Amino acid sequence: MNCDNIGNECACTYSSCANHAKCCECLRYHRSKGELPGCYFPKEAEKTYNRSIAYFVDLYNSGKI
Ligand code: SF4
């Protein structure tokens, strides 16, 4: 499967990550850990680097997503 680098469109602020802007690798990595990619989270929440599904659900349930 071709997984092109999306460059500047990547919303993740953890820019030193080897998977930065490589959506397929990013998704594969976080899925393997039971997490979601940074781009699923609102801007301020993304900066916490907490990618857990529990955190995402908390944000959703509190109306922040
Ligand atoms: S969301 Fe995770 S894997 Fe994806 S670029 Fe950011 S730190 Fe890397």
pLDDT in tens, 1-44: 567 888 788 999 997 999 999 999 999 999 999 999 999 999 99
**CB-CB contact of 30 with 4 (8 Å):** no
- Would you say the CB of residue 38 lies under 6 angstroms from ligand 1? yes
Contacts (Cβ under 8 Å, ≥6 apart) of 5: 21, 22
Instruction: Work out how many domains the chain is built from and give that number.
Output: 1
10, 14, 23, 41, best to mutate for ligand 1 pocket (most atoms within 8 Å of CB): 14
Residue 1 has a pLDDT of 58
- Would you say the CB of residue 23 lies under 6 angstroms from ligand 1? no
Residue 38 has a pLDDT of 97
- Would you say the CB of residue 60 lies under 6 angstroms from ligand 1? no
Residue 28 has a pLDDT of 95
Q: How far apart are the first and last CA of the chain?
A: 31
**CB-CB contact of 47 with 37 (8 Å):** no
- Would you say the CB of residue 19 lies under 6 angstroms from ligand 1? yes
Any domain includes 1: no
pLDDT of 64 strictly over 90: yes
Any domain includes 46: yes
Q: HSE (CB half, 13 Å, CA atoms) of 11?
A: 12
Any domain includes 44: yes
Any domain includes 2: no
Domain that includes residue 56, residue range: 7-61
Residue 25 has a pLDDT of 94
Here the tokens at position 39 are 């781009």
